[in-house]
Amino acid sequence: MKIINSLEEITRPFKRAVVTIGNFDGVHLGHQAIFHEVIERAESIGGTSVAMTFDPHPMQVLKKNNHPPLITILEQKIELMARADLDVLICMPFTREFAAFTPREFVEDVLIRKIGMAAIVVGQDYSFGKDRAGNVGMLKTFAELFDFEFILADWIQMAKTESGRISSTKIRDLVMDGRVDMAQPLLGRYYQIRGTVTTGRNRGGKLLGFPTANIILLDELCPKTGVYAVTVESEGRQYDGVANIGYSPTFDDHIFTVEVHILDFDKNIYGSKIRVNFIRRIRDELKFSSISELSDQINKDVIAAREILGRTLHQQR
């Protein structure tokens, strides 16, 4: 997949470009279905499959601090979209100047003249242009006017036990509520955070007997406070683990931390980047009356995590 970071990098239009456009936050199964449709259509006309996304997220520019936390940072979004086997990904810098394009200017000047669009695939709630004035009805009109193919993608529905369609909002709500196991079938993978391991308060191994990796988060969206069964990716390998998200109430620190105890692991990984996949929430974060009581509970958490990971991951193999 070729990655383009600005329109200036496009020196000539792509061959019969089949385009989709969106924020694609989470790159969930609904987004993946759209990518698949783009690729299939491009192959059928001998064209180029192209996705355009934005960095930063438009809401971060237009609403500044009043925007929802991102499910996927750009680094992970690019990795996930690359797996779809798209030909080209345009990571469009989103600025107020770019937001000022009228719907017609965006379609005619950017999509057709610059990118070479022959067809476009979008979801039913797609909007574009200044003040989001463009919608699927307007896009259909432009398709007739400028002679490109307009394809409206179907919603991807959630499982029968849930109502509605798969959406970034639904996934975000599930993660923030700690229901990471319910977010998994919507994402098509487990929710993941990324971060750099930093020196903690030297309590995990010394006081509790369970050394932890303290993480400086790169992500915006963090699961609800509590204890989770997780897997940890470090230096190309995956390990089982237990993660604690919260404020360490037993120690009255009132400092938010993300700590991971990696099972059967004794390497020094300070300063390295790790990825943590959240499999299932085990319990709320609790305040204990003593260090020994907390240590006993962590031991129970480790046992619970081993059981969850053994059962859940075994079912997927």
Query: For residue range 17-27, what is the model confidence (pLDDT) as tens digits?
Result: 999 999 999 99
Question: What's the sign of the alpha-carbon dihedral 24, 29, 32, 38?
Answer: negative
> What CATH number is given for 8-152 in this structure?
3.40.50.620
CB 102 within 8 A of CB 127: no
The pair of three-digit structure tokens given for residue 256, joined into one six-digit string: 């938010």
Q: What is the mean pLDDT of residues 289-316?
A: 88
Q: How far is CA 204 from CA 64, 247, 261, 294, in A?
A: 37, 14, 8, 11
Q: Which CATH architecture describes the domain 179-316?
A: Beta Barrel (2.40)
Length of the chain: 317
Query: What distance in Å separates the CA atoms of residue 266 and residue 171, rounded to the nearest whole number?
Result: 34
d(CA 279, CA 192): 9
Say what the pLDDT of residue 294 is.
87
Rg (CA), the chain: 23
Coil/strand/helix, residue 230: strand
- The 3-state secondary structure of 232-246 reads EEECCEEEEEEEEEE
**What pLDDT is stored for residue 66 in this prediction?**
72
Reply yes or no on whether the pLDDT at 265 is more than 60: yes
Tell me the per-residue pLDDT of 206-220, one tens digit each, with 9 for 90 and over.
445 578 889 998 888
Question: For the chain, what are the domain ranges?
Answer: 8-152, 179-316
Mean pLDDT computed over every residue of the chain: 91
Sign for the CA dihedral angle at 146, 88, 220, 60 comes to negative
The predicted model gives 76-98 an average pLDDT of 96
Report how far apart the first and last C-alpha atoms of the chain are (Å, whole number). 29
Residue 225 clears pLDDT 70, i.e. is over it = yes
Contacts 24+ apart (CB under 8 A), 311-316: 312/181, 312/229, 312/279, 312/280, 313/231, 313/279
Task: Determine the pLDDT at residue 262.
Answer: 94
63: number of CA atoms within 13 Å, CB side?
9
**What confidence tier does 201 reach under pLDDT thresholds 50, 70, 90?**
low
Give residue for tokens 């059981």: 307
Distance separating alpha carbons of residues 223 and 216, to the nearest angstrom: 14
Q: What is the pLDDT of residues 279-301, one digit of tens each?
A: 999 999 988 888 888 889 999 99
Summarised one tens digit per residue, pLDDT across range 123-160 is: 988 999 998 899 999 999 999 999 999 999 987 777 65
Q: pLDDT tens digits, residue range 61-72?
A: 888 777 789 999
| Cα separation values, 166 from 49, 219, 291, Å | 23, 21, 43
